[in-house]
Chains A and B, each alone.
Chain A
Amino acid sequence: MIRFIDVHKSYRVGGRDIPALQPFDLDIADGEVFGIIGFSGAGKSTLIRLINLLERPSGGRIVIDDIEMTALAEPALRAQRRRIGMIFQHFNLLASQTVADNVAFPMRLAGERDSRVINARVEELLARVGLSDHADKYPSQLSGGQKQRVGIARALANRPTILLCDEATSALDPQTTASVLELLAEINRELELTIVLITHEMDVVRRVCDRVAILDAGAIVEHGPVADVFLHPQHPTTKRFVDESLPGETAGEPVPFAGVPGHILRLSFRGEATLAPSLSRVARETGVDFNILAGRIDRIKDLPCGQLTLAMQGANIDGALAALRQVGIEIEELRR
């Protein structure tokens, strides 16, 4: 468990304190994939660096598994850092070392001298990330996706309990992003590793995260399970992120569907309800008519979910709404 307790951070620039992160509390549970999303300058890369104390907080405490990181002296802090892997947007591999030596590097830093132990572990890690054939290459000979896989193998070398991902897919094309995210999800499942990632792409959050925090101008404005945040964004910044991940959505219109008659409803489905033919059954039973104005079906991590915007007409609208709510569909009435 990673706990932030009343943590804040400001930078001293020219004799003045410029706040980077407003005081906040946050708990990240063991084994979850926690996303932090924000625009550039929101403070997300500062936030993720507070976890391994690459950035020191200006106040507050950071506690990982009952160890107060902020109270550790330098040697103890270095020992704790070995239990926290980190991968980076620009990979940050040693250009002068081969792939195998890059992966072995954290083990050597930790004092492992036995080359048989190192070689066996490197082989195992490269197999996991699918780069067994590239052990003797140099980073400059690899593609971006391959470099990030080396970064992941390196981050896992000392069997960490936490993996920090600093915009790990931001420099990659969409296909490569998908495969790297898949690898991260697999690692999370199989190694029961806690993953904290920062990103500016809602799509990354949607694909791999269990929970998400939205960071805006140094403040966590919203956080919760991804499906909740995704289907019911509260803060304007969250809404922007959700909208940006939905091409063709009519978000932002002051009066949506002004010319359409009837009740305008937004239905949110998740899990089993998404795939059941509830809408047509309820319409048949209650005698209402509906017209689909907008909609989408998504997967949030492994959970299917969807949202439909409807115009509904008929005598028994209230009955229809009650019947829909009964099967677990959430309804927002946009216009009565």
Chain B
Amino acid sequence: MNPLQELFPNIDDWGEIGQACIDTLLMLGGSLILTVLIGLPLGVLLYLTGKGQLRPRPKLYAVVSLLVNILRSVPFIILMIVLMPVTYALVGTKLGIRGAIPPLVIGAAPFFARLVETALREVNRGVIEASQAMGASLWQIVRHVLLPEARGGLFAGITVTAIALVGYTAMGGAIGSGGLGDLAYRYGYLSYKSDYMLVTVLLLIVLVQLLQMIGDRIVARYGSH
């Protein structure tokens, strides 16, 4: 008898667990890329329009800020249900990996945008002033000063967001998005096969550890000099 079978007697199809891992990684990868693509400009917008910043627009800032706060205050599992019509309109299904990505992005992008805003506020004002004195345009300041100078904080923000997304994908499992969360919920919770629960939790722990380690490496490499 295979030692794995001895340890987890209820698990008869390891291939299913492998597939669930791949699904989780696909959801994570897809939603993380889209979260960064949407959250980064949103964070830059929040930073630039904030009080005393380069392009203060109090009303615009208040509206965007409120929207971000609303999306952040809705628990993810509820957000996912509320967004179902939107999800269907966007990707043509409410289920599976495709169905999971829109709510994951809509849930995580505002969170990441706040982290971007905070990271940009850490950039030395003097350096921004120096680039203004050199005749830099707003776009040049964003592209060549703010983002490179804040890159340590931005990479740390991406790491935190990725780990939050791991949690979101697991929750998504409860309403049919597949992946490790789905497995833990269906077999571990509904069918009382606690070894499924244990294996998925262990795999999620490993995944989070890996993400944190990779993130820390990148921050150390590209962060401050």
Residue of A nearest to B222 (CB): A96
A54 near B133 (CB under 8 angstroms)? yes
Given A90-B126, A95-B225, A96-B149, answer yes or no on A54-B132 (Cβ-Cβ < 8 Å): yes
* Cross-chain pairs A/B with CB under 8 angstroms, 9 sampled: A54-B129, A78-B136, A79-B135, A92-B127, A95-B149, A96-B151, A108-B144, A109-B135, A158-B134
Q: Is the CB of B224 within 8 A of A95?
A: yes
Residue A138 at the chain B interface, CB threshold 8 Å: yes
In the docked arrangement, what's the CA distance between A93 and B131, Å? 9
Min Cβ gap B223→A in Å is: 9
B124 within 8 A of A: yes
Chain B residue numbers with a CB within 8 Å of A109 are: 131, 134-136, 140, 144
Give the residue name and chain of the A residue nearest to B136 (CB). A109
Q: Does B145 contact A (CB under 8 A)?
A: yes
Shortest CB-to-CB span from A152 to chain B, Å, is 13
Cβ A140 vs Cβ B224 within 8 A = yes
Number of interface residues of B (CB under 8 A): 20
Chain A hits for B131, CB < 8 A? 105, 109
| Contact indicator B149/A94 (Cβ below 8 Å) | yes
| B13 CB, min distance to chain A CBs, angstroms | 49
Picked from A78, A94, A141, the residue with its CB within 8 Å of the CB of B135 is A78
Closest to A160 in B: B134
Q: Select A105's contact among B132, B134, B151, beta carbons within 8 Å.
A: B134
Q: Which chain A residue shows the least CB distance to B140? A: A109
- Interface residues of chain A, those whose CB is within 8 Å of chain B, are 52, 54, 78-82, 84, 86, 88, 90-97, 105-106, 108-110, 138-141, 154, 158, 164
Q: Which of B174-215 contact A (CB under 8 A)?
A: none
Interface of B is mostly: helix
Say if the beta carbon of B137 comes within 8 Å of chain A.
yes
Assuming A54-B132, A81-B133, A140-B224, what are 18 further A-B pairs, CB within 8 angstroms? A79-B135, A82-B135, A84-B133, A88-B129, A92-B124, A93-B130, A94-B127, A95-B149, A96-B224, A105-B134, A105-B144, A106-B134, A106-B135, A109-B134, A109-B135, A109-B144, A139-B225, A158-B134
Nearest-neighbor residue (CB-CB) of B150 within chain A = A96
B interface residues, Cβ below 8 angstroms from A: 124, 126-127, 129-137, 140, 144-145, 148-149, 151, 224-225
Q: With both chains docked as a complex, state the minimum distance between the C-beta of A243 and any C-beta of chain B, in angstroms.
A: 32
Q: How far is it, in angstroms, between the C-alpha of A164 and the C-alpha of B133 when the chains are bound?
A: 10
CB atoms of B148 and A94 under 8 A apart: yes
How distant is B48 from chain A, measured CB to nearest CB, in Å?
A: 15
Q: Give A277 Cβ to nearest chain B Cβ, in Å.
A: 50
Whether the pair A96, B148 counts as a contact (CB closer than 8 A) is yes
Contact B126 A92 (CB under 8 A): yes
CA distance A139 to B225 in the complex (A): 8
Q: Which residue of B lies closest to A137 (CB)?
A: B225
Min C-beta distance of B125 to chain A, whole Å: 9
Nearest-CB residue, chain A, relative to B148: A96
Q: Which residues of A contact B127 (CB under 8 A)?
A: 92-95
Q: Given the complex, which residues of B lie within 8 Å of A79, measured CB to CB?
A: 135
Contact call B225/A81, Cβ cutoff below 8 A: no
Q: How far is the CB of A208 from chain B (nearest CB, A)?
A: 21
